[in-house]
Amino acid sequence: MKRKLYLCFMIMPVLYTIMMLNNRRFGSINNVLAIVIYALICLILGISIMKFYEMFCNKKYYTHIAIILLIFIDMGIKIIIYSILNRPIILFRDILEVSISKNINQNALLNYFNISYSFWIIIIIKILFAMLIIVTYKYFIKRSGGEFFSYINLAFILFFSASFCSLLDSICYGYTLDYILFVDFMCCDIKDFYVDVGVGLFLIYYYKQNLCAVNTSKEIRENENNL
């Protein structure tokens, strides 16, 4: 059952596939291979982050430490790449490469609809979005709990880390510094995968919650029938 739930980490690649089909962008086998590699990265990262979280979730201040670590990983990679990368590093020719891309619109949704805002508007939007994540997290703390809370907690750790990294990008560079280039598909960075994994964790959380509710309801009916 747990292995099947790992497929939830591939929800974002599935959504991107639907978008590509809608835009008729599957023009070659390279596009297909790019989406497959993207899905595998989401799956591997999702499983790895969950395993790491399960090892340290009982430690004191684990939430704060996890956020700091995730931010450090994202910004550290960018500092290294921005400092030393002079030309693209080709991993799979015409499919995947490491290449600096300056995302001026700083948001995948804005890029998709070709919408642009001024620097300060983007900063304000990112601050408000980070605050919204915190408020929503506090709401879930009050509403949720029990054995499945760890999934939602980890999801919000990833969402807030990605949001803060995005804000730091705007402050430090004036744009989002992307470097993972899926040729003819998209360009992203590690924090984008934080979001992808976080969405998968949300799906796992709701699936387990609903499954638990169904099982509880069955037990109640069975007990009533036995009376």
- Mean pLDDT, rounded, for 104-116: 60
d(Cα 99, Cα 182) in Å, to the nearest integer? 10
Token reading at 181: 């280039």
Q: Are 44 and 7 in contact (CB under 8 A)?
A: no
**In the chain, where are the structural domains located?**
2-226
DSSP code, position 95: T
pLDDT for 125 equals: 86
Residue with tokens 């991993």: 91
3-state secondary structure of 180: strand
Identify the band that residue 87 occupies on the pLDDT scale cut at 50, 70 and 90: confident
Q: Taking the C-alpha atoms of 83, 30, 20 and 132 in order, what is their torsion angle to the nearest 10 degrees? A: -30
Q: Taking the C-alpha atoms of 203, 111, 162 and 26 in order, what is their torsion angle to the nearest 10 degrees? A: 50
Neighbours of 199 (CB within 10 A): 19
Q: Is 80 exceeded by the pLDDT of residue 52?
A: yes
Q: Is 80 exceeded by the pLDDT of residue 83?
A: yes
Q: Are 182 and 91 in contact (CB under 8 A)?
A: no
Identify the band that residue 105 occupies on the pLDDT scale cut at 50, 70 and 90: low
List, in order, residues 6 or more apart from 86 with CB less than 8 Å away. Answer: none
Lowest mean pLDDT among 117-126, 135-144, 157-166, 215-224: 215-224
Q: Is 80 exceeded by the pLDDT of residue 116?
A: no
Residue-level length of the chain: 227
d(Cα 110, Cα 129) in Å, to the nearest integer? 15
For the stretch 173-183, pLDDT in tens is: 888 888 999 88
Q: Is 90 exceeded by the pLDDT of residue 162?
A: yes
Identify the band that residue 76 occupies on the pLDDT scale cut at 50, 70 and 90: very high
